[in-house]
Amino acid sequence: MKKQIDVAAAIICKENKIFAARRRVGKHLAGLWELPGGKLEEGETPEQCLARELEEELNIKARIGSLISENIFDYGAKAIRLMAYEVKCFSGDFRLIDHDAMCWLALNELNTIEWAPADIPLLDRYKELTEMAVCSSSSKSNGYIQENG
Ligand SMILES: Nc1nc2c([nH]c(=O)n2[C@H]2C[C@H](O)[C@@H](COP(=O)(O)OP(=O)(O)OP(=O)(O)O)O2)c(=O)[nH]1
């Protein structure tokens, strides 16, 4: 059976935008955009892996939040289990150490770049959860201002 590789990835959010980085030439999936992160090393939790990768790849220190979703994807030569965690707290200046481009995208701009295929269901799920959160907070405020007559 094909080995499945565990990969942790970060949905880094700032001012309602999320961070994407492009895989550089020479790598598997070169030219496609991804969430920063990487393979779990032996004995590492996904959170430890992500904190390490974000510092190694982007020069930022981050507090890893909750698991948003995971997706098993078979690329043929390898299969990965991609786990996406939300990151809302981080510090440091982003530096591209392992990627060749970066961008910040609003949720409605996510489909303007070409993502690694394994990421798409995770981003859809994140969008769904974020829209649900916005919806529930706006229905609360509507309740508050509702008037009779
Ligand atoms: N980091 C990251 N990897 C992703 C994402 N989506 C996706 O399919 N992958 C794939 C690409 C790689 O095959 C694997 C992650 O490994 P990595 O980033 O540590 O890989 P790499 O190609 O630099 O590793 P290496 O084999 O050259 O050491 O997961 C994603 O959003 N983030």
**74: domain CATH number?**
3.90.79.10
Contact of 21 with 73, CB cutoff 8 Å: no
Cα 18 to ligand 1 centroid, rounded to whole Å: 18
Per-residue pLDDT reduced to its tens digit, 114-139:
999 999 999 999 999 998 887 777 66
Specify if 149 maps to a domain: no
pTM for the whole structure: 0.91
Residue 132's pLDDT is 83
Specify if 128 maps to a domain: yes
pLDDT at 141 over 90: no
Structural domains of the chain, count: 1
Contacts of 7 by beta carbon, 8 Å cutoff, 6+ apart: 37, 38, 39, 40, 80, 81, 82, 83
Measuring from atom 5 of ligand 1, which residue has the nearest CA? 34
Measuring from atom 15 of ligand 1, which residue has the nearest CA? 38
Cα 139 to ligand 1 centroid, rounded to whole Å: 39
Residues with CB under 6 A from ligand 1: 7, 9, 27-29, 34-35, 37-39, 80, 82, 116, 118-119
What ipTM goes with this model?
A: 0.94
Measuring from atom 13 of ligand 1, which residue has the nearest CA? 28
Q: Which residues of 31-70 are buried (b: 16+ CB within 10 A; e: fewer)?
A: ebbbbbbbebeeebebbebbbbbbeebbebebebbeebbb
